[in-house]
Amino acid sequence: MIKATTYHPLSIEDAIEVARSLEGFFTPDTELQCEEIGDGNLNLVFRIQAIHATEDLNKSIIIKQALPYAKVVGESWPLTIDRARIESEALLLQGKLVPHLVPQVYLFHADMAMTVMEDLSDHVIMRQGLIAGTQYPLFAEHISEFLAHTLFYTSDLGMNQQLKKRQVEQFINPELCKITEDLIFDDPFTNSSNNNIDTAILDEHAALCSDQALQFEVMLLRQKFLSQAQALLHGDLHTGSIFITPQSTKVIDPEFAYYGPMGFDIGAVIGNLLLNAAGQQFWIQDEMKREHYREYLLTTIRDIWNLFDVKFRSLWNQHGVDRLSKVAGYQDHYLLEVLRDTAGYSGCKMIRRIVGLAHVADIDTIADPATKERAQRIALSIGKALVTANRSITSIDEFIDVAYQAFKGVHVS
């Protein structure tokens, strides 16, 4: 382990020293190489791998270190490095519930705000795969299992309520929650300096700022995020936080973990699939292939909810700890509210990714300005429709129909 325990950003040399200190991982004489691979907004990320030595040749690790500021902005935006502890503890908890769906944690160093974990280089970031038009036949099965187990077993339905309150204490995450509260539920609906808006869609942002009915729904969703400690959320479950192959799914980066409404996590996944559907206006040029891929995405969304619903109910029926929660009708009521929250948070996520600070590559890297504008308008149309309709939706089919009708209303091929 590096000798200094006073926090400082890791160097390449430091990262190699950490790798060598892992007991039983690399042999002492193995030559190691290290590269910084982080392209995120908040952290340093290194990959260390063995070279030349036959015994360790395929071994590698990832070291992730929290910086004391938001990397995407700079030192003018300070952040607590305690988020590294929250991320590590969330990964360890998720690893107990769904070990095959998260990376293995080898080491957490509190003083250095550093987590050493499994390297998933044999996977791809899901966002990149979707942009390329890849289909993942097991994704709905995997992500629904992740959601059902992590949300059920950290809720009052699946764990002792007093122990849950202690766990809520453990995952109080005010600084990163503030980012969510501002960037998702406030900035997109006002003239904030944090916003990043293409000139071509300034009219869309002006409409967001003046739409009182939409802002009313956003405020209801914001209030739930602020006050409803329903379950432990991943907190940032977009397609950039998922490593994937056609056979495997791994959820990463839970540094925004926090006790909040379940629909926020489910909505984040679904909202990002819909953002990709909007971006396919550019990525798949053939109209029939593009429509086929959009149908795949919508089917995946339907399957995610339906599989989550079945799995969550099964866990509830078999392992629910609250006797009164099994009263007739309550389970249906509970899951309908989660579905409605999912719709609302999906919409909020889509809106913020078009006019807010951080965009998504699915749309932001579209080279043709006219096509990019159409994709942005599609995404905003779907996002607004889901937010507006969230409290009246009664089924996942209705959810998808709201999104599809909003898409059709933009009048693009």
Q: Tens digit of pLDDT for each residue in 345-359?
A: 999 999 999 999 999
**pLDDT at position 30:** 86
CATH 1.10.3720.10 fits 124-408, yes or no: no
Residue range(s) in the chain whose domain bears CATH number 3.90.1200.10: 124-408
**pLDDT at position 413:** 43
DSSP code of 235?
A: S
| Alpha helices (runs of H) in 186-328, residue ranges in sequence order | 202-210, 212-227, 262-283, 287-319
Question: CATH assignment of 12-118, given 3.40.190.170, 3.10.290.10, 3.30.200.20, 3.40.190.10?
Answer: 3.30.200.20
Average pLDDT on 372-379 reads 97
Q: Which of 228, 294, 293, 310 is nearest to 265 (CA)?
A: 228
Asked if the model's pLDDT at residue 150 lies above 60, the reply is yes
Q: Do 117 and 62 meet the contact criterion of CB atoms below 8 Å apart?
A: yes
As given in the structure block, the two tokens for residue 276 are 């990709």
Structure confidence by residue, pLDDT tens digits, 298-323? 999 999 999 999 999 999 999 999 99
Structure confidence by residue, pLDDT tens digits, 41-67? 689 999 999 987 666 667 899 999 999
Residue range(s) in the chain whose domain bears CATH number 3.30.200.20: 12-118
Q: Which of 88, 106, 221, 90 is nearest to 150 (CA)?
A: 90
- Please give the mean pLDDT across all residues of the chain: 94
As given in the structure block, the two tokens for residue 350 are 């889509």
